[in-house]
Structure 1
Amino acid sequence: MITPCIYMFLSLRMILQKEGPRSLFRGLGPNLVGVAPSRAIYFAAYSNCKEKMNNIFNPDSTQVHMISAGVAGFTAITTTNPIWLVKTRLQLDARNRGEKRMSAFECVRKVYRSDGIKGFYRGMSASYAGISETVIHFVIYESIKRKLLECKTASAMDNEDESAKEASDFVGMMMAAATSKTCATSIAYPHEVVRTRLREEGTKYRSFFQTLSLLVREEGYGSLYRGLTTHLIRQIPNTAIMMSTYEVVVYLLDG
């Protein structure tokens, strides 16, 4: 764990020295634009699919969670991939201090001139492979959440209290989300590396499996987990807050 942390701080120092503090926020605009619609599409698709699957399979079973997570991931990826491609291109646009930065609109024009509409969907095959991460995350999350609710119900019956939601319940769901996301990301992380390489401009990477085999052949298996520590530092609190917020909103809407 020490070595990845050292690499992370060395990379941070190099970016600050060469490109300045503003470079740390490159791609923030498309990221802010993409987060809201992406999450809205994802959770809408997940909830609707889960509701329909509950009528076909055993309600809230593993099959329901897997299918719902897969459909939600596919829907969100297909509709928002262009936004994430622009974000990645902006993040990879390394320039020295004082040089003019490429804007999101300039990036869009450049991608369109170079590759046309299909250029905005580069890396989507790797994103589809990343649906496995979503499936693993939700299966583990729903399993932990079900166990927490069972414990809550049993405790309420013993004490003859009503099983109402409390703040501690949502803290438990945050922990469940953090745990499930850590497991899922650690297992499926290589697709993140492959996707970033595919989104680089003018590279030798062409498809998911070609990129995967090329990375292993040229850089070794360790390259498939490059940046994992930094990714987890960002994703774990993000997912914990997002999932607990989702549960709070659903609870309040259900009244």
Structure 2
Amino acid sequence: MSNADTFIHLLAGGVGGTVGAIVTCPLEVIKTRLQSSSCEVQCSAVRTLRTATASNAGCNASHMYFTPEMNWNVYYHHHQCTSINSRLAVFPESVLQWPASTSSAQPKGALSCFRHLVEQEGCRALFKGLGPNLVGVAPTRALYFCTYSTAKRKFNKILTPDSHLVHMCSAGSAGFVSCTLTNPIWFVKTRLQLNRNQNVTAWQCISNIYRSQGMVGFYRGITASYFGISETIIKFVLYEYLKVTLQQWRETQADSSMSNYVALDYMIAGAISKTMACSLSYPHEVVRTRLREEHSRYRGFFQTLHTVFREEGYRGLYRGLSTQLVRQIPNTAIMMTTYEAVVYLLKSLIDDKRYAETE
């Protein structure tokens, strides 16, 4: 029975995660772009800035041509006397004072990011990283739900059955196992989503990472993922509580038809629990994206957290949150509903088979 139950949760988790990932992939790409340090997405590849920082570069420049790069901004100083870009200077983003009158210099939102992706990189850009996402989401969700159900069974024997502590320990164990085993897949996915070169393939990205950093490079940002386990703990504790509460409420209703909305209970519980958990622990996602950037100047979890807060304020730690919520609510609702539906169907098939064998 134990092996059959493990297989059911393994398959259900994989199917649920895959369906959710396909439906919400464009929002995932936009969220990753907004989280990155190059989130000042431009409507054109190069824009002109009139700024006083030209004097800080040691040259007499009237215009500065800006190209958004990862973590650092590259400025080509165009001299009045020549049309040749004769000098290259590199500044941290914190050095610059954006002109208030230049609207294109302000950070863009999700809608502008969407338009930029479609106009500059084509509709295919909305599905960047989908390959690694599909490769990773099934084993990640399968490992997660399998570990969660197994750990829950074990902790129920040690602790008070179905208590909040059991759900917390189970979710923490599942998050640690899935993060550790699948971090390289998500690292490649993030790199592809941040890469503006449409022709870069997943295999080329893997080769570049291995050549420049070795196997250790695939685990950049894993510390942030470990801190992100708190999100899964909060989510599953709330999910289990809301699911039971909604079911008990429907059972007390005089209308017998109210007890038939089991799938709706799963969707509501999944959406609410994910929204609250994501809002509370979101900064770890921004930190993780920054650590996974190419040529990143960020080195560790706390150093990145401190740097982002010092340079960009608390808003920098919550960049892309609205897009993440818009993505996660349907993603979690679809994933949890599919998961519960597959578990129900497989258990029904197994019970029917056993009943037929006993006749």
TM-score using structure 2 length: 0.64
Q: Which residue of 2 aligns with 1:102?
A: 200
Residue deviations 1:216-251, cap 9 Å, x none? 011111001000111111111111111122222223
Partner of 1:145: 243
Deviations 1:67-113 (A, max 9, x none): 00000011111111000000000011113xxxx51100001110001
Amino acid at match of 2:290: R
Q: Is 1:45 the equivalent of 2:147?
A: yes
2-structure distance, mates of 1:171, 1:114: 48
Root-mean-square deviation over aligned CA pairs: 1.9
Give, in whole Å, the separation in 2 of the partners of 1:152 and 1:82: 43
**DSSP-derived class of the 1:140 partner:** helix
Q: Tell me, which stretches of 5 or more residues in structure 1 are unaligned? A: none
**Is residue 239 of structure 1 aligned with residue 341 of structure 2?**
no
Q: In the aligned structure 2, how far is the partner of 1:22 from the partner of 1:119? A: 27
User: CA-to-partner distance for each residue in 1:202-228, whole Å, 9 max, x for gaps?
Assistant: 111111101000000111110010001
Residue identity matched to 1:143: Y
Q: Deviations over 1:16-65 (max 9, x none)?
A: 22222221111111011111111100000000000011111111100000
Q: 2:179 aligns with which of 67, 77, 87?
A: 77
Quick check: 1:90 aligned with 2:188? no
Query: Higher relative CO (CA 8 A, sep ≥ 6), structure 1 or 2?
Result: 2
Cα deviation digits, residues 174-229 of structure 1 (max 9, x gap): 11100110100011111110000000011111111010000001111100100011
CA distance in 2, matches of 1:57, 1:149: 24
Post-superposition, which runs of at least 4 consecutive aligned residues in structure 1 deviate over 6 A? none
Distance 2:212 2:297 in 1: 15
Of Structure 1 and Structure 2, the greater helix share is in: 1
Partner of 1:62: 164
Consecutive unaligned residues of structure 2, counting only runs of 5 or more, are 1-33, 35-107, 349-359
1:196 counterpart SS class: helix
The yes-or-no answer on 1:193 pairing with 2:286 is yes
> Following the alignment from structure 1 to structure 2, what is the Cα–Cα distance between the partners of residues 18 and 150?
52
Give the equivalent residue in structure 2 for 1:225: 318
Quote the Cα distance in structure 2 between the aligned partners of 1:252 and 1:165: 18
Q: Distance in 2 between matches of 1:216 and 1:37?
A: 34
- What SS class does the counterpart of residue 109 from structure 2 fall into? helix
TM-score, length-scaled by structure 1: 0.90
Partners of 2:308 and 2:157 in 1: how far apart? 44
Which of 122, 129, 152 matches 2:227?
A: 129
Counterpart residue type for residue 200 of structure 2: M
Q: Measure, in 2, the Cα distance between the counterparts of 1:207 and 1:82.
A: 17
Larger Rg over CA atoms: 2
Aligned to 1:225, the other structure's residue is in SS state: coil
SS at match of 2:310: helix
Pair 1:114-2:247 in alignment: no
**Residue 133 (structure 2) aligns with:** 31
| Aligned pairs for 1:167-186 within 5 A | 168-186=261-279
CA positional deviation for 1:164: 11
Does the CA-based 8 Å contact 2:247-2:265 persist in structure 1? Answer: no
Q: Counterparts of 1:12 and 1:164 in 2: how far apart (Å)?
A: 40
Q: How far 1:165 sits from its partner (Å)?
A: 7.1
Bigger share in strand: 2
**Partner letter of residue 282 of structure 2?**
Y
